[in-house]
Chain A
């Protein structure tokens, strides 16, 4: 067989860089069978609560195995609408302002495909979730990164936004609280961002997947600010709050015309999200809130533990207001984030992800996920301490 099969790969896909996470995943895979504690995951350690799993089983028993409406089950959309009103203070009509998707990842992809013309500029804050930049490249958009900094606890500031802005910017992607930094914006900061979006006529794609995991203060959705609902696609899902990552279920809410445009792409590419996952999600929204609170309380305690230990060890770490990620600086150890992560893995068998996998502003940091048991976190922190204290090889 010819070895130059590469010639079939589309240019813009061939040009996509491999995810930095992928490199590190391969390194970790080599350590298989050894007693590695992983703080490298991006998902809860809780299994989906039983009543939610049971609802899916029940749905299967009743023969719910068919397609749903492109927009998703109307009962689920009604529940989403109620949930979003109660928790985020924005009203969306279940009939035409809500679409159920295969995770927020699909919703983001739909939004970019529906709203970004080739050459349009899309702003996003860095460090950020690994898919943002590639998703923009896949729709032939131009990515415009906006830096966030440790000194601001990785909150996005309107000033940074203004200085990164250039003519042709059409869309702003937000992920608050943020994977990997745990950074988020308070209401005042969000109002400044919202004012800037109105001034520059930006469409906002607001990925609020970690919003339920806000530990201090209350989460504010940019969509709830005056004049923003009409220019915001609110993106959310079940993965993090309800521990449902593998179900792949998310949703988007926004102005009917925009949701309709996203639906067009969705109906031709995905048709609908899995009905089983939708049935489970309905149970999650109706009877899952107690579980969310219980899990949040545990994450909160784990965050306090990990952040305190990191700072004791000498890894300067801000306390993330949301999400289950700590993003300490490793600059003080005299190692780059890649050296630190690789060394920590081979010498002390703790996996963290180099911050540079999430963009240039992650250089000098590592992402440590604290969605792991207290016992494991305690041992991991002790190992990290040993690693930091021994002289650099």
Chain B
């Protein structure tokens, strides 16, 4: 695997210069590889992972997961509707699922009302959407591999050991 991509996936927080040092590449080469990853549409962009229990970070964000049942179509199956739903700004992620419903949609909004409004006015009124079941997220314990508020001592190693 591309060593730059590998280091990014490890979830550390290395700067381009640090990645260059660890991977033993020139900084320009790291930059070029990052550009290439973007060009190849492997790397789509950057998002910070925030601890939303922190008020400043949360900035009045409400998150919900919505199970959506839709009617598949001759020719395109679930794709056309799924892509249509996914285009809404409120939708952060959208997956086709196996099991009791078809789409799992992660949405966020500035308030409960806004998310509720999105579901009742936009999502459920789309032709082909049979039903929705909305679950509001109450608290986050782990996000994208980052544990929140574990209270785990990060370094209790002695400084010098044999």
Partner-B contacts on A (CB < 8 A): 19, 21, 24-25, 28-29, 36, 38, 40-43, 45, 47, 129-131, 179, 298, 301-302, 304-305, 308-309, 351, 353, 373-375, 378
The CB with the most chain B CB atoms within 10 A, among A179, A302, A374, is that of A374
| Smallest CB separation, A356 vs chain B (Å) | 14
The answer to whether B32 has its CB under 8 Å from any CB of chain A is: no
Within 8 A of A (CB), among B87-133: none
| Smallest CB separation, B156 vs chain A (Å) | 9
User: Given that A47-B152, A373-B12, A374-B14 are contacting pairs, would A42 and B21 also be in contact in the complex, using a CB cutoff of 8 Å?
Assistant: no
| Smallest CB separation, A84 vs chain B (Å) | 25
> B23's closest neighbor in chain A, by CB?
A301
Interface string of B127-162 (1 = CB under 8 A from A): 000000000000000000000000010010111111
Cβ of A25: which chain B residues have Cβ within 8 Å of it?
Answer: 158-160
| Smallest CB separation, A25 vs chain B (Å) | 4
Can you list 18 A-B contacts with CB-CB less than 8 angstroms, sorted by A residue number? A21-B161, A25-B160, A28-B159, A28-B160, A38-B157, A38-B159, A40-B159, A41-B157, A43-B157, A45-B157, A130-B162, A301-B22, A308-B24, A351-B159, A373-B12, A374-B14, A375-B18, A378-B22
State whether B10 touches A42 (Cβ < 8 A): no
> B154's closest neighbor in chain A, by CB?
A47
User: Given that A308-B24, A378-B18 are contacting pairs, would A298 and B10 also be in contact in the complex, using a CB cutoff of 8 Å?
Assistant: yes
Q: How far is the CA of A25 from the CA of B159 in the complex (A)?
A: 7
| Smallest CB separation, B125 vs chain A (Å) | 44
The CB with the most chain B CB atoms within 10 A, among A36, A298, A301, A302, is that of A301
State whether B24 touches A305 (Cβ < 8 A): yes
The CB with the most chain B CB atoms within 10 A, among A21, A40, A130, A308, is that of A40
Q: How far is the CA of A43 from the CA of B157 in the complex (A)?
A: 8
State whether A24 touches B162 (Cβ < 8 A): no
User: Given that A301-B22, A305-B24, A378-B18 are contacting pairs, would A19 and B157 also be in contact in the complex, using a CB cutoff of 8 Å?
Assistant: no
Cβ of A374: which chain B residues have Cβ within 8 Å of it?
Answer: 12, 14, 18, 21-22
Cβ of A353: which chain B residues have Cβ within 8 Å of it?
Answer: 160
Q: How far is the CA of A45 from the CA of B159 in the complex (A)?
A: 11
User: Given that A301-B22, A305-B21 are contacting pairs, would A40 and B160 also be in contact in the complex, using a CB cutoff of 8 Å?
Assistant: yes
Q: How far is the CA of A188 from the CA of B160 in the complex (A)?
A: 35
